[in-house]
Chains A and B, each alone.
Chain A
């Protein structure tokens, strides 16, 4: 099973709204990632959690707030977003070093539109 799930699939929000994106995996992976992807461009890394601790923050604006409640769940809290934040937000997970397998498995993404 190599499934990563994301909810919602689509989200439209105003600039004053607060919303959250959710990601879940049950593969026992210990690293989880948030990416932002614009049309016809590669994903851009936003955050990495390793063993439920934030290990990488790619200088993402504070209006994006990640949270990792447990090893299977990853949230991205959104507040006061700008129209340029409209994009596809992808979640991914990967195994830890002990397994020797490093590939990232991606979820289907959330299409976010900020109005």
Chain B
């Protein structure tokens, strides 16, 4: 079974600064998807970024980028130029390509953005 670990329950960053959220995972599969979801106080889970394991290039979405290290099974999220609206719970998630549609979530990292 796959597991996802987020070792930072809480992080804080100053507005306009850069912050990196960590995620590691364990799997015996070679092809899979990884995601970062954001859940602000409004509760809606919002997809931030996705990465396909067979793609070596790190995914980027505007101010959000990932550092995907497949051998190390690491998938960190970098938020540049942090904004107050980035404050949220961030969940890292894994999805197998071959064994069903289940998402395996990490425990989450609560990000605070200080003005």
Contact = CB atoms under 8 A, between A and B. Distances in A.
Interface of A: 2, 31, 33, 40-43, 45, 48, 50, 55-56, 88, 90, 92, 94, 102-109, 111
Contact of B95 (A40, A102, A108): A102
Consensus secondary structure, chain A interface: strand
B101 A108 contact: no
Contacts of A55: 100-101
B22 interface: no
B31 to A, nearest CB: 11
Nearest to B107: A42
B97 interface: yes
Interface residues of B, number: 23
Contacts of A108: 42-44
Interface of B: 33, 35, 37, 42-47, 50, 89, 91, 95, 97, 100-103, 105-108, 110
Contacts of A103: 33, 35, 47, 50
Nearest to A92: B45
Given A40-B110, A41-B108, A102-B33, A109 B43 contact: yes
A106 B110 contact: no
Contacts of B45: 43, 90, 92, 106
Contact of B43 (A2, A48, A50, A88): A88
The 4 A-B pairs at the shortest CB distance, nearest first, are namely A42-B105, A106-B45, A108-B44, A109-B43
Nearest to B110: A40
Contacts of A94: 101
Nearest to B46: A106
Given A103-B47, A108-B42, A42 B95 contact: no
